[in-house]
C-alpha cells in the first residue's frame, strides 16, 4: 500500500461552546505545534466581535478585535496558519435564534437553516463574511461551512423557485453555495475557499460540473468512523475530476455522542489510522490533496449541551496528531506523547467503562480539569450503581416508600453510600470551579456545573432527605389502605 502524507494538519477550534481564554492558547500552541499541527480551523460562531447592526450576535465573552490580532501573532510564532470558518447556510442557529433574523429562516419554527431565496439572506451573509475577513486580511483560506443543511427547499418561496427553474434539491443547494463563493472570490480573489462536502457527497459529476462550484471551492470530506467509512466508492475520483483541491476531516473529540464527557481516545486514534488507510488506497484517484482537519466539536449544534472540554481532550488531540505525523501508532508513539504531556505512565486510551482509576500526575495545560472530569464521571457511575443495587431496588423502591414501609437497617446503609457520593461531589465542585475558570469563561463554568454537577447533587440530596424520613418512621406495619385500584 502506497503511503500518504498530510501536507496540512489543522486543529479545529469550535468556539460555539466552552471557548478558551486567550492565555490558554498561549499555553497549548507550543504543544500542538510540536506535535505536528500546521494550522487552526477557527469556527467563531458567536465568539467573533461582530459590530454595528450585528453586535447582538456576540456572546458575553466574545473575543475582541485585539484578541484576534493577538491570536494571529501567537499562531505565527509557532508557524500555525489560521483559517476562519463561517457557516453560510445550515447550522445558522446563533443568528436565526434572534427575533430580528427569524424572517430568514427556511422553516419559521426551526432556527437551523436560512432561506436562500429570502431577499435579506444574501446581504446578511456577505456582511458577516466581510466583518470576519476584515480581521483575517493575511490569511489565505476561508471555510464557508455548509454541512448538514437538513431544512432546504421547504418554504413556499423556495419551492416555487425550484419549480420555476426545474431544480432538484441538490442543484438548489449548489446554486446558493456558488452564489456565496462567487461573491467571496470576486471580493477576495487571493482566498482559497473550503466547504464541507456532505451535502454534495452523492451528487453526480455532471450536476457538480454544471453548477460551476468546482471552480470556486475545495471540498472537505469528513468522516469520524473507525473501520469502514460510509463514503461513495467513487467519491475521490469524482471530486478530483471537479475540484482543484481536496481536504479531509477526522475528529479528536466531539464526534462520539452529544453528551460525551471523556473522549474515547482509541476510537479517535483508529479514526486517524482509517483515514490514512483510505487515502493510501485511493492515492491514485486523488489530485492535489491539501491535508486534514482534526475536528473538535464542542456542541453538536448551538442548542446542545457541552461535550468534551478542550483540556480534557488535549491528550487525545496530541495522540491523534502523532498518528498523522508518524503514519502509525506504536508503543513508542504512545510513550512519546505521554511523556511530553507529563504523564508518569501511558495515557489511558480506553477510559470506558467507568469508574476507573483517575489519571493524575500529568502537568499539561488544563490537567486539573482533566482530573476533575474523570472524578465527576466516577461519582456519576457510583450513584448509578447505588440506584441499581439490590438494596435500593429491593428495600427502597418507590412503592415501598410511598407506603412508608422500609427497613431502617437497609435505609441507613443506602443513605451512607449516597451521602458519601454527595460529599465527594460537593468537594469536587468547590475545586473544579476555579480549575475551569483558569481555562474558560464564567458562563461556560456556570453551564458545565449547572448541567452536570448540580442536577446530580440535587438528586443525591433528595435521596438523602427521603432516607432520613424513612428512618424516622422506622419499620412500620405495611399500610394496606393505600390502593390505586
Give the model confidence (pLDDT) of 330-384 as tens digits.
Answer: 999 999 999 999 999 999 999 999 999 999 999 999 999 999 999 999 999 999 9
Cell of 37: 499541527
Predicted TM-score of the model (pTM)? 0.96
Beta bridge partners of 82: 40
CB-based contacts of 247: which residues, under 8 Å, 6+ apart? 8, 194, 218, 219, 220, 221, 289, 290, 291, 292, 293
Is 81 within 8 Å of 40 (Cβ atoms)? yes
pLDDT digits (tens, 9 = 90+) for 79-88: 999 999 999 9
CA 228 centroid distance within chain: 22
Q: Is the model's pLDDT at 478 over the cut of 80?
A: no
pLDDT digits (tens, 9 = 90+) for 250-298: 999 999 999 999 999 999 999 999 999 999 999 999 999 999 999 999 9
pLDDT digits (tens, 9 = 90+) for 94-150: 999 999 999 999 999 999 999 999 999 999 999 999 999 999 999 999 999 999 999
Cell of 207: 450536476
Three-class SS state of 100: helix
Q: In the chain, pLDDT over 70 holds for what percent of residues?
A: 98
Is 217 within 8 Å of 243 (Cβ atoms)? yes
Top CATH class, 8-340: alpha beta
CA 238 centroid distance within chain: 29
Question: From CA 451, how far away is CA 337, in angstroms rounded?
Answer: 32
Average pLDDT over residues 231-251: 97
Does 465 participate in catalysis according to the annotation? no
Backbone angles phi, psi at 84, to 5 degrees: -75, 145
pLDDT of the residue at 453: 98
Q: What does the H/E/C string look like for 187-254?
A: HCCCCEEEEECHHHCCCCHHHHHHHCHHHCEEEEEECCCCCCCCCCCCHHHHHHHHCCCEEEEEEEEC
Question: From CA 404, how far away is CA 187, in angstroms rounded?
Answer: 74
Q: What DSSP assignment string belongs to 424-484?
A: HHHHHHHHHHHHHHTTB-HHHHHHHIIIIIHHHHHHHHHHHHHHHHHHHH-SPPP--S---
Question: From CA 207, how far away is CA 210, in angstroms rounded?
Answer: 5
> Of 43, 106, 134, 148, which one is the catalytic site residue?
148
Amino acid at each position: 500500500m502506497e503511503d500518504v502524507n498530510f501536507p496540512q494538519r489543522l486543529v479545529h477550534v469550535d468556539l460555539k461552546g466552552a471557548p478558551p481564554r486567550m492565555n490558554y492558547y498561549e499555553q497549548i500552541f507550543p504543544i500542538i505545534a510540536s506535535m505536528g499541527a500546521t494550522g487552526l480551523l477557527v469556527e467563531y460562531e458567536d465568539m467573533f466581535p461582530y459590530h454595528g447592526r450585528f453586535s447582538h450576535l456576540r456572546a458575553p465573552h466574545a473575543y475582541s478585535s485585539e484578541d484576534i490580532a493577538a491570536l494571529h501573532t501567537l499562531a505565527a510564532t509557532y508557524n500555525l496558519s489560521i483559517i476562519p470558518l463561517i457557516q453560510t447556510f445550515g447550522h445558522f442557529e446563533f443568528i436565526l435564534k434572534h427575533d430580528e433574523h427569524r424572517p430568514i429562516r427556511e422553516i419559521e419554527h426551526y432556527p437551523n437553516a436560512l432561506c436562500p431565496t429570502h431577499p435579506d439572506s444574501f446581504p446578511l451573509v456577505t456582511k458577516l463574511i466581510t466583518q470576519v475577513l476584515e480581521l483575517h486580511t493575511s490569511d489565505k483560506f476561508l471555510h464557508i461551512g455548509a454541512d448538514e443543511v437538513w431544512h432546504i427547499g421547504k418554504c413556499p418561496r423556495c419551492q416555487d423557485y425550484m419549480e420555476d427553474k426545474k431544480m432538484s434539491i441538490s442543484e438548489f443547494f449548489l446554486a446558493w453555495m456558488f452564489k456565496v463563493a462567487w461573491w467571496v472570490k470576486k471580493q477576495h480573489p487571493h482566498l482559497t475557499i473550503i466547504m464541507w462536502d456532505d451535502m454534495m457527497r452523492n451528487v453526480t459529476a455532471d450536476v457538480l460540473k454544471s453548477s460551476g462550484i468546482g471552480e470556486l471551492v475545495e471540498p472537505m470530506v469528513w468522516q469520524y468512523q473507525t473501520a469502514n467509512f460510509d463514503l461513495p466508492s467513487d467519491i475521490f475520483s469524482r471530486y478530483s475530476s471537479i475540484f482543484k483541491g481536496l481536504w479531509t476531516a477526522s475528529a479528536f473529540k466531539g464526534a462520539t455522542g452529544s453528551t460525551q464527557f471523556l473522549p474515547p481516545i482509541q476510537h479517535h486514534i483508529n479514526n486517524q489510522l482509517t483515514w490514512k488507510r483510505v487515502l493510501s488506497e485511493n492515492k491514485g484517484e486523488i489530485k492535489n490533496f491539501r491535508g486534514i482537519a482534526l475536528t473538535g466539536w464542542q456542541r453538536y449544534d448551538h442548542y446542545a449541551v457541552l461535550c468534551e472540554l478542550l483540556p480534557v481532550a488535549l491528550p487525545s488531540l496530541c495522540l491523534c496528531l502523532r498518528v498523522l505525523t508518524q503514519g502509525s501508532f506504536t508503543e513508542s508513539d504512545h510513550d512519546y506523547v505521554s511523556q511530553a504531556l507529563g504523564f508518569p505512565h501511558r495515557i489511558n486510551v480506553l477510559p470506558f467503562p467507568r469508574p476507573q482509576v483517575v489519571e493524575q500526575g500529568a502537568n499539561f495545560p488544563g490537567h486539573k480539569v482533566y482530573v476533575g472530569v474523570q472524578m465527576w464521571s466516577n461519582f456519576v457511575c457510583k450513584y448509578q450503581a447505588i440506584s441499581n443495587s439490590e438494596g435500593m431496588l429491593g428495600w427502597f423502591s418507590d412503592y415501598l416508600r410511598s407506603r412508608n414501609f422500609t427497613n431502617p437497617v437497609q435505609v441507613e446503609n443506602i443513605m451512607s453510600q449516597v451521602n458519601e457520593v454527595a460529599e465527594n461531589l460537593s468537594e469536587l465542585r468547590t475545586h473544579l470551579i476555579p480549575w475551569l475558570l483558569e481555562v474558560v469563561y464564567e458562563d461556560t463554568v456556570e453551564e458545565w456545573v449547572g448541567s452536570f454537577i448540580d442536577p446530580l447533587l440535587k438528586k443525591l440530596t433528595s435521596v438523602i432527605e427521603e432516607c432520613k424520613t424513612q428512618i424516622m418512621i422506622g419499620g412500620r406495619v405495611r399500610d394496606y389502605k393505600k390502593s390505586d385500584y
